[in-house]
Amino acid sequence: MANNFVSFFKRFFEDVFKTKKNVKIGFYGPPNSGKTTLANKICLDWIGEELGSASKVPHETRNVQFKEKVNIKHNGKQATFKLIDTPGIATRIDYEDFLAYGLNSKEAKQRAKEATKGVIDAIKWLDDVDAVVIVLDSTKNPYTQVNVTIIGNLVARKIPVLIAANKIDLRGADTKKIEAAFPEYGVVGISAKQGKNIDEFYDSLFNLIKKV
């Protein structure tokens, strides 16, 4: 009887105070949706340094990049994460598109070449994440095949998904449209750049990892 009593309390306190360790969170989405900006915001909040560089030129992130042991404490909850920032997934990459951003032909071709490899790497990493934050630009149409393909693959792999509707600080942002497009998933509207609604994002993140 006494042993059962001790065992019950031991399990109870383990559940209440346990810290999830090394939860691998992937940041996925189309190019220029703000994946790196969001990953940077989280890293700055909790470890004081950025994860990667963000830019207005599409496909700035062309390699999968990580930050390990990011310990997040929020509203009495705590977990340690490995943040995995992935290159934007696209179905087309044309080096000529980069010329409009001031790159010369050689730089644009090199960027396009690296971007194609980045997309392949991002897809391969789907097999090695515990949960995914899909970062979408809330000023853009969410009904794109890239978004559908990413979500379809996560569902097939039974990987929990949270959708961050980013850029809500911009005119034309429409979080409701993203909610309507993906009614089965949690959607949180944020501005990673300005830190808007970031507390709601952390709430959603801790809800997400309950499913891991």
Partner 1 sequence: MKDVTIQFIPFGELAYLSSYKRVKKLIEMAEENKIILIQGKLEPQEEADLIEETMRKIGRSSKFKGIELTSFVPQTKNLTIFQGLREKMANALVGNRDSLTIIGPATVVREIKKDPTKIELYLRK
The residues binding partner 1 (CB under 8 A) are 89-94, 112-113, 116-117, 119-120, 123, 126, 141, 143-146, 148-149, 152-153, 155-156
Between 78 and 144, name the residue whose CB sits nearer to partner 1.
144
Taking the CA atoms of the chain, what radius of gyration do you get in angstroms?
A: 19
Taking the complex as a whole, the smallest distance from the CB of residue 116 to partner 1 amounts, in Å, to 4
Least separation in angstroms between residue 150's CB and partner 1 is 9
Closer residue to partner 1 (CB): 44 or 148: 148
Between CA 201 and CA 195 the distance in angstroms is 10
Q: In what order do the strands lie in the sheet with 131-137?
A: 65-74, 77-85, 20-28, 131-137, 161-166, 186-189
Nearest-angstrom CA–CA distance, 158 and 149: 14
For partner 1, the closer of residues 92 and 171 by Cβ is 92
Q: How far is the CB of 197 from partner 1 (least distance, A)?
A: 26
Question: Which residue number, 15 or 158, has a Cβ lying nearer to partner 1?
Answer: 158
Q: Which residues fall within 8 angstroms of residue 3, CB to CB, at 6 or more apart? A: none
For tokens 């990011």, the residue is 70
State the Cα–Cα distance between residues 175 and 137, nearest whole angstrom. Answer: 9
Nearest distance, CB of residue 161 and partner 1, angstroms: 13
> Quick check: 174 and 143 in contact, CB under 8 A?
no
Minimum CB distance to partner 1, residue 33 (Å): 16
Q: How many CB atoms lie within 10 A of CB 55?
A: 13
Q: Which is nearer to partner 1, 59 or 167 (CB)?
A: 59
